[in-house]
Chains A and B, each alone.
Chain A
């Protein structure tokens, strides 16, 4: 009984530690906000933290793993193992509500609801979208008079937008 309580307390401490590890590219978000920490568990005495990477080629992944290792060691969990889990694939739906609010305050429009699940065929009509896409509210002034400048922004996970009301450019975290 007390062992179980102890384990729970230690897990809470681990989650708290991980909640202070920033995403290297978007430091306003922690890796817990980002939704990539999938599991914290104890196998015997060993702590196992499971992480699901965002994009396959995201250069931040290795840095994040190293940061997690350092943070856990500093918090008193020197013996731990980090595991990568690919399935189910990461989705922006896993970004926490708190994380979305932080993104907005930071000047990045948070991702909208995720697109329909992946299809096995390609709907050609979806490739001909010429009109404006679903409007993304400007994180600065809230206007929905915004437009996409480029489908890729400063990182693979973001698109570049511009607000036609306040005339400021901004990043949009793409639904993925």
Chain B
């Protein structure tokens, strides 16, 4: 593989996690527990969608360098099957109740913030500038999701129990965030990607302190699911894509 191919794949990993989580948050439109939360979730989704577009736009340019032509943002989003998606398994998990949505968001936000901060030092100038822009937005996301984990964890007996179940159930999807493969290592070696394993300790420190503040027990299970970043997904992604891609699949090239 040439390094442009590796870079393309890496950019899809960044873009797809943003896109898939944005779609999940969009599913809350009209269903939020209160109006303010409905608005907040979709605004966060909008931030993530905007970030996904910046990564896709760059991925498309990189793809053109080795494939002759790069697919458009729309083609990348709407015309790939689940096996072509490179997102984390965590973000494709269904919304569940509000505790699940917030636990998923919190685990992701903390990682996302640390990753983007690291990528601001990328030797690839385009990656560095997108990361610098995105991390300002994500700093706000972390504060909000941490706030909800604490509110629900340190809330009523019912909200505490639900939040504990949510952080426990999603824990198995967090190991993948720090497991690098050959592509990560090559790009990290060139100073383009960041060393994922270096994010594990600060991620854990933040998560532990917030869960403790929330009177929640830090999950202890060691088995971690993997596969999202190389296209092996849980069954949930395919179902999500049938909704997300329906229009472009049924009416190819349809425009507003």
Contacts of B46 in A (CB 8 A): 55, 57-59, 156
Whether the Cβ atoms of B39 and A127 lie closer than 8 Å is no
For chain B, the count of residues having a C-beta within 8 Å of the partner chain is 44
Q: Chain B contacts of A120 at CB under 8 A?
A: 114, 117-118, 120
Interface string of A141-164 (1 = CB under 8 A from B): 000000001111111100010000
Chain B nearest Cβ from A174, distance in angstroms: 8
Q: Is A134 an interface residue (CB 8 A)?
A: no
Q: Are A152's CB and B143's CB within 8 A?
A: no
Are A121 and B136 in contact, CB atoms less than 8 angstroms apart? no
Pairwise interchain contact A89-B133, C-beta atoms closer than 8 A: yes
Please, which residues of chain B bring their CB within 8 A of the CB of A152?
36, 39-40, 43-44
**Which residues from 51 to 67 on chain A have a C-beta closer than 8 Å to any C-beta of chain B?**
55-59
Chain B contacts to A: CB under 8 angstroms: 36-37, 39-40, 43-51, 53-54, 110, 113-114, 117-118, 120, 128-130, 132-137, 139-140, 142-144, 146-147, 150, 202, 205-206, 209-210, 213
Check A89 against B209 for contact (C-beta < 8 Å).
no
A-B contact pairs, 20 of them (CB 8 A): A55-B46, A55-B47, A56-B51, A57-B45, A86-B54, A87-B128, A118-B120, A118-B132, A120-B114, A121-B114, A121-B202, A122-B110, A122-B113, A122-B142, A127-B146, A127-B213, A128-B210, A149-B36, A150-B40, A153-B39
Residues of A within 8 A of B45 (CB): 57
Q: B202 to A150, Cβ gap below 8 A?
A: no
Q: Contact at A119–B36, with CB atoms within 8 Å?
A: no
Measured CB to CB, the closest approach of chain B to A71, in angstroms, equals 23
Q: A56-B137, A127-B147, A152-B36 are in contact. List 14 more A-B contacts (CB 8 A).
A: A57-B49, A59-B46, A89-B129, A90-B133, A118-B120, A118-B132, A121-B117, A122-B114, A127-B209, A128-B213, A150-B36, A150-B40, A151-B40, A176-B136
- Residue A3 CB within 8 A of the other chain: no
Question: How far apart sit A91 and B120, CA to CA, in the bound complex (Å)?
Answer: 17
> Nearest residue in B to A150 (C-beta to C-beta)?
B36
Hey, which chain A residues are within 8 Å of B130, CB to CB? 86
